[in-house]
Structure 1
Amino acid sequence: MAREECKALLDALNKAIACYHHLVLTVGSSADSQNLREELQNTRQKAQGLAVATRARLTAVLRDRDLGAEERAEFERLWVAFSGCLELLEVDMQRALALGAAFPLYVPRRPLVHTGVAARTFSARSLRHEVDRDFEVADLRELEHEILQVREMISDMEMKVNVPRWTVQARQAAGAEVLASAGASSAGGVSVPEHTGPCDPNKALAATIFGAVLLAAVALAVCVAKLS
């Protein structure tokens, strides 16, 4: 039961971190918005909650001296995987902090003259933006604090449970799962289209040619500009 519980927690943590990573990549892009920043906050807090629960469960099991050798080896593999997840989460949190500071959503703008309806409209809009700006600043400060918490969690893990990564052996060779999936697909008669989806070779070749032509045009334009 403990093994299945730890695996379920680790799987949920992996999904939350993957979602957070995807959201972080859109900070500062055209898809950036107040909703995105709030979703980032909720997702990272969910990931941290799962991390705390996973750490507590794995720590309790690995500190059990009556644990069998095979079971201990399995939980040590889960521990190493969990440690890697935390490191990825910390990296993405640092990236979110840097991008959030570099690309603020709300920049205060003040007109030179305040008159009539325009002044009242501007005041209401400024008040709303001020509230949103306060959330943004508070979120970045909270993110800084949470990064420190994740670092402390990683350090605390290393002190409470000493599991050197180089001592943990994988259960199967690298790529075995991919080969097994491919074999199962062939055995089941599942056919895979050759020229579909974003990895279509014809589309890839066309994109490569277009890119080369575009680079050549840019280089030619730069040369002409320098000579003129």
Structure 2
Amino acid sequence: MVKEECKALLDALSRVTACYRHLVLTIGGTSDSQNLREELKKTRQKAQELAVANRNKLTAVLRDKAVSKEDKAEFERLWVIFSTCLEILETDMRRALELGHDFPLHVPKRPLVQTGMSGGTSGVAARAMSVQNMKYDEADRNIDVVDLKDLEKEIHQVGEMMYEMEMKVNVPQWTVEAKQNPGAELNSAISMGTSSIGMLDEERKPFCHGSKALAGVIFTAVLLVAVILAVCVAKLS
């Protein structure tokens, strides 16, 4: 039961971390907005909540002396995956901090990342970003600064969490054995693709043979008609 709970928490953390990375990549782009920044904040906070839950669960299990050797090996594998997710989250949070400084929201005529989109939108964008059309109060102008300060604190907290994890549970990654050989998933996908192609070829064989037989019959009929016509022409002449 505990193992399934740990796997479910880890799966949720992986999904939220992947979602956060996707959102970070859009900072400074043409789709950047206040909604995006708020979604970034909610997503990273959710990821941190899941990280704390994962840490507490796995730490308690790995420090339990009553856990069997087989179960402990599985929990250690989950611990390594969890540590990797946390490292990815911290990296993306640092990236979001840098991009947030480079692309503040409420700055007139701020530069945007070129996304490859083109068209007659430059005039509209220029008018939308003009100082006359922008009406922000003091709280709106400071929202970037406040959020970036919070992000700095959260990055520090994630770093502290990673350090405490290493102190409480010593699980060197090189001591954890993988459940599959390197490239096993890729080889499995290739073998599945090859078998699918083989099955498709087998399905096509009857059709191919039938097509060849039909082509032979048509060719023979055409040849007979040609011979008959030639004989008729010869008799008439």
Query: Structures share a fold, TM > 0.5?
Result: yes
Give the residue type in structure 1 aligned to 2:60: A
Larger Rg: 2
- The 5-angstrom pairing of residues 42-191 of structure 1 reads 42-107=42-107, 125-127=135-137, 130-184=138-192, 187=195
Unmatched tracts of structure 2, length 5 or more: 110-130, 201-237
Number of aligned residue pairs: give it.
178
Per-residue deviation, 1:136: 1.5
- For the aligned residue pairs, the C-alpha RMSD in angstroms reads 2.2
CA distance in 1 between partners of 2:100 and 2:186 (Å): 37
Percent of aligned positions that are identical: 59
CA distance in 2 between partners of 1:20 and 1:123 (Å): 31
Post-superposition CA distance 1:183-220 (Å, at most 9, x none):
345556787xxxxxxxxxxxxxxxxxxxxxxxxxxxxx
CA distance in 2 between partners of 1:124 and 1:107 (Å): 9
Post-superposition CA distance 1:98-155 (Å, at most 9, x none):
100111111269xxxxxxxxxxx9699132xx33222221110100000000000000
**Structure 2 length-normalised TM:** 0.69
**Structure 1 length-normalised TM:** 0.72
CA distance in 2 between partners of 1:169 and 1:137 (Å): 45
Give the residue type in structure 2 aligned to 1:4: E
CA distance in 2 between partners of 1:68 and 1:14 (Å): 26
Unmatched tracts of structure 1, length 5 or more: 110-120, 192-228
Post-superposition CA distance 1:21-45 (Å, at most 9, x none):
1111111111111111111101101
Does the 8 Å CA contact 1:108/1:126 hold for their aligned counterparts?
no
Does the 8 Å CA contact 1:17/1:85 hold for their aligned counterparts?
yes
C-alpha spacing 1:8/1:162, structure 2 compared with 1 (3 Å): same
**Which SS does the other structure have where 2:136 is aligned?**
helix
